[in-house]
Amino acid sequence: MRAQDLGKDVIVIERARVGGAGVHAGALSSKTMWHLSNDFALAQRSDRGYCAKAGFEISYRRVIESVRAAVSEREGYFDKQLDRLAASRSGGGSVSLVRGTAKFISPHEVEVRRTDGSLELVSASHFVVATGSKPRIPDGLPVDGDLVVTSDHIESFPSFPESMVIVGAGVIGCEYATVFANFASTKIRIIDRQPRILPFEDEDVAEEVASNFESMGILIHRSSKLQEMRVVDGKVEYVISDPEGKTQTIRVERALVSVGRVPNTRTLGLENAGVQLDKNDSIVATHTQSSVSHIYAAGDVTMDIALANVAELEGRYAVEKMFGLDPRPIRYEALSAIMFLKPEVASVGLNELQAKERKIPYRVGVVDNRLVARNVAMRNTSGFVKLLAAKDSGKILGLRVVGPQASSTIQGIAFLIEMGATLDDIDRCVHPHPAIPEGVQECARMLLGRSVFKVEVFGPEGLLRCGEG
């Protein structure tokens, strides 16, 4: 669409469904499940002065029907736009959709194999490779799309399984653990080879999520090695060993494998175009430009950061660069992301792990949501706000929000990081009341020695923390 803005003629080649994993079996579908599951869990609570007397009926198929409705609503808008733009050339360039699987046969030519087997040759001056990624399946795991699945198949369960093991406690594993635990029909176990879930996040964030998981009845096998998984009599049997080598054999109804993703590059014929891949099959790209100057790569196919917002940003950047607009380089350090867990976890910029890794001296403040008026009013005070600022200048480096409305709360700070703002800027800004971002303001003020609640009073209770690294 950005190339169309610039008056270029564009051909989009898609082998499956327009929207990719941003919509199907991915971001939108899983977030729809998350919202539905949250509403269900909330409605089940009986500590708020109301409860459903007759209980709730719940059906996996019906839930998935709602998910499909969301997905097709979104897909419908994409299809409508592509149809209209293909039919008219109103001001911008033309956009046409070719359905089929693309493969480079030379640096300027792509062969498209349609579903009926026919071939179409597409040639262009410039290319953006945005073929995304697929679940990584380690050797020996019997993924059959039925009993042992990846996120690609999870919507095809006939009903809620009674029990499910999740292999990999990263984002996908933890999000689906949350969804199924919220629906309260499935006993969830989750295995990770690391000592804690979400190993790329700060320990306090991961532990807050882990303790909520445990209170939701999710069993976490930490530092566990999956020795074997097999299908026996229509059930999934797996063997895990702990760091001392003690093994356990457990039987569950289904298994979800979520141990990372790999780029879709293998069958793209990139060797015919001379495009260089790294040892993980990702396209080697410098500011989205591959080793062949007219071929760009955006999104999961470079496998640096696998997020829909990054994919879009890179796509826009690539197109602007290829048509000479000289766009501002993408600032990967100010990226924001949300993990749809219980509670929601949203992040922008650096966490403590990353600041330490990059040897950036920082100050950190943590304010527990129990001290934030809006959380109190919501009767939902689990989680905290954690703000990092540069030690000398007070420049804002990053924010983690663990708790309700986390995703909306980080956005203001994303802008401030982008602008190079400091703790003083957060202090000065008038916040609405009561609002979740007040926790962020209180955190900045605490680091500046101007907060309402004092660390000497609430520090020992674990409600406030100031530190540095």
Ligand X SMILES: Cc1cc2nc3c(=O)[nH]c(=O)nc-3n(C[C@H](O)[C@H](O)[C@H](O)COP(=O)(O)OP(=O)(O)OC[C@H]3O[C@@H](n4cnc5c(N)ncnc54)[C@H](O)[C@@H]3O)c2cc1C
Ligand Y SMILES: NC(=O)c1ccc[n+]([C@@H]2O[C@H](COP(=O)([O-])OP(=O)(O)OC[C@H]3O[C@@H](n4cnc5c(N)ncnc54)[C@H](O)[C@@H]3O)[C@@H](O)[C@H]2O)c1
Active site residues per annotation: 433
Binding mask 196-235 for ligand Y (x = CB under 6 A): ---x--------------------------x---------
- Count of CB atoms situated within 10 Å of the CB of 194: 15
| Interface pick for ligand Y out of 193, 235, 356, 431 (rule CB under 6 A) | 193
With CB under 6 A as the contact rule, the residue among 306, 348, 413, 426 that binds ligand Y is 306
300 is in an annotated binding site: yes
CA gap 307, 74 in Å, rounded: 18
What one-letter code names the amino acid at 384? F
CA–CA distance, 164 with 190 (Å, rounded to integer): 8
**Under the criterion CB under 6 A, does residue 194 sit at the interface with ligand Y?**
yes
Q: Which does 102 bind (CB under 5 to 8 A by kind): ligand X, ligand Y, none?
A: ligand X
Q: How many other CB atoms are found less than 10 A from the CB of residue 101?
A: 16
67, 167, 410, 464: residue in contact with ligand Y (rule CB under 6 A): 167
Q: Give the nearer residue to ligand X in terms of CB position, either 288 or 422.
A: 288
Q: What is the C-alpha R_g of the chain?
A: 24
Burial of 425 (0-12, 13-18, 19+ CB in 10 A): middle
Q: Is 260 annotated as a binding residue?
A: yes
Of the pair 34, 362, the CB lying nearest ligand X is at 34
Q: What residues make contact with ligand X under the rule CB under 6 A?
A: 13-16, 20-22, 26-27, 30-31, 101-102, 130-132, 151, 172, 264, 268, 299-301, 306-309, 311
Tokens standing for residue 184: 């309260």
C-alpha to C-alpha distance for 132 and 282, rounded to whole angstroms: 10
Contact between 337 and ligand Y by CB under 6 A: the answer reads yes
Q: Which helix (H) or strand (E) holds 238?
A: strand 235-241
Residue 331 CB, shortest distance to ligand X, in Å, is: 17
Nearer to ligand Y, 167 or 297 (CB): 167
Q: What's the min distance (Å) between Cβ of 343 and ligand X? A: 15
Question: Rule CB under 6 A: is residue 173 a binding residue for ligand Y?
Answer: yes
Are 186 and 161 spatial neighbours (Cβ–Cβ below 8 Å)? Answer: yes
CB 135: neighbour CB atoms within 10 A? 21
170 is in an annotated binding site: yes
- Is there a binding annotation on residue 410? no
CA dihedral (71, 77, 83, 87) in degrees, to 10, reads -170
Q: Which is nearer to ligand X, 90 or 118 (CB)?
A: 118
Q: Which is nearer to ligand X, 346 or 371 (CB)?
A: 346
The distance of closest approach from Cβ of residue 302 to ligand X in the complex, given in angstroms and rounded to an integer, is 8
| Smallest distance, ligand Y to C-beta of residue 261, A | 5
DSSP state of 199: T
Query: Could you say whether residue 260 binds ligand Y (CB under 6 A)?
Result: yes
Judged by CB under 6 A, which stretch of 114-122, 269-277, 336-344, 403-411 contacts ligand Y? 336-344
Residue number, 333 or 427, with CB nearest to ligand X = 333
What is the amino acid identity at position 376?
V
Q: Using CA atoms in the order 309, 315, 316, 317, what is the torsion angle rounded to 10 degrees?
A: 100
CA 186, distance to chain mean position in Å, is 23
C-beta of residue 351 within 8 angstroms of C-beta of residue 335: no
| 14: partner contacted, choices ligand Y, ligand X, none (Cβ within 5-8 A by kind) | ligand X
Smallest distance from the beta carbon of 307 to ligand X, in angstroms? 4
CB of residue 199 vs ligand Y: minimum separation in angstroms?
A: 5
Burial of 172 (0-12, 13-18, 19+ CB in 10 A): buried
- Tell me if 288 sits within 8 A of 314, measured CB to CB: yes
Sequence ranges of the binding site for NAD(+): 168-175, 260
Footprint of ligand Y (CB under 6 A):
138, 167-173, 175, 191-194, 199, 226, 258-261, 306-307, 337-340
